[in-house]
Amino acid sequence: MRFHWLLPSVKGIPVLMYHRIWPDQRDGLTLTPEQLREQWLYLKKEGWRCLSLPEFLDIAAGKQSMPPKSFLLTFDDGYHNNLTYVYPMLQDLNWCATIFIIADTLDGTAAPVTNDIDRKLTVAELKSMDTKFVQLGLHGYHHENFKETSLDGIETALQQSVTAFEQAGLPYYKVLAYPYGARPKDTKILQQLKQQMRKTGIAAAFRIGNQPASMPARDVYELKRIDIRGEDSLEDFIIKLRKGKLKPF
């Protein structure tokens, strides 16, 4: 018996975190196209509203009220399969998603990828997607683990990321998804990082947390996301949508 349904739903906006979409593969980072469509058609059928990143940020800042049954779609790393499988679904449903891009894939310094499933989007491919359906954000320069990186190293990575986007001429938002969901463990260093992000115009940052993001946000640099995994059944997805995680206690 599953006890999740006995617990109250967590209030807030579910920010759904995806990575790769690939046929016949289901793992921690990968859903099949059929799984993704099943989840999204459930949301559509149940009357959920997909927010754009600017709408979400305004709600987080308290500039707009939170619409009932609203959610945000996010994809990490900038896989080419997001263009192949995700983009057509967004167009079909008239929804939008934020893709957080590893910036070294924009300026040619990324290590070469040899397998198709991990191929990243090129600048030309990113430009080919309508900003009505896809918004872009930051995901580190070399996908650095900020828990293991000095404050100076993090600041350098963020500046390099901004520079790569600017030089590529891509429209983007100064919003960060922490690579690996990781932040400095030292509270003092983390606060210094947040001050630096605020100073350099980074408007918000997403961690994992596996709970709906509470609104308005107490801290826009600690926005929580829900990890959607290929092993999840549709029932798992529905539980995560309401409560953020599968473990009931």
Quote the domain boundaries for residue 192.
Answer: 4-243
CB neighbour list of residue 222: distance below 8 Å, 6 or more residues apart? 205, 207, 209
For residue 249, tell me if it sits in a domain.
no
Q: Give the model's pLDDT for residue 78.
A: 98
For residue 148, tell me if it sits in a domain.
yes
Per the structure, how many domains does the chain have? 1
Do the beta carbons of residue 142 and residue 157 sit within 8 Å? yes
State the Cα torsion 186-160-170-61 to the nearest 10°.
30
Q: Give the model's pLDDT for residue 7.
A: 62
Q: Give the model's pLDDT for residue 248.
A: 64
pLDDT tier, 232 (very low <50, low <70, confident <90, very high otherwise): very high
* C-alpha–C-alpha distance, residues 46 and 38, integer Å: 12
Tell me: the pLDDT tens digits for 4-42? 555 666 789 999 999 999 999 999 999 999 999 999 999
CATH of the domain at 176: 3.20.20.370
For residue 78, tell me if it sits in a domain.
yes
The Cβ-side half-sphere exposure at 75, using a 13 Å CA radius, reads: 26
125-128: long-range pairs with CB below 8 Å, 24+: 125/80, 125/83, 126/78, 126/101, 126/168, 126/170, 127/169, 127/170, 128/83
For residue 166, tell me if it sits in a domain.
yes
For residue 248, tell me if it sits in a domain.
no
Tell me: the pLDDT tens digits for 168-211? 999 999 999 999 999 999 999 999 999 999 999 999 999 999 99
Mean pLDDT of 84-99: 98
Q: Give the model's pLDDT for residue 247.
A: 75
Tell me: the pLDDT tens digits for 70-82? 999 999 999 999 9
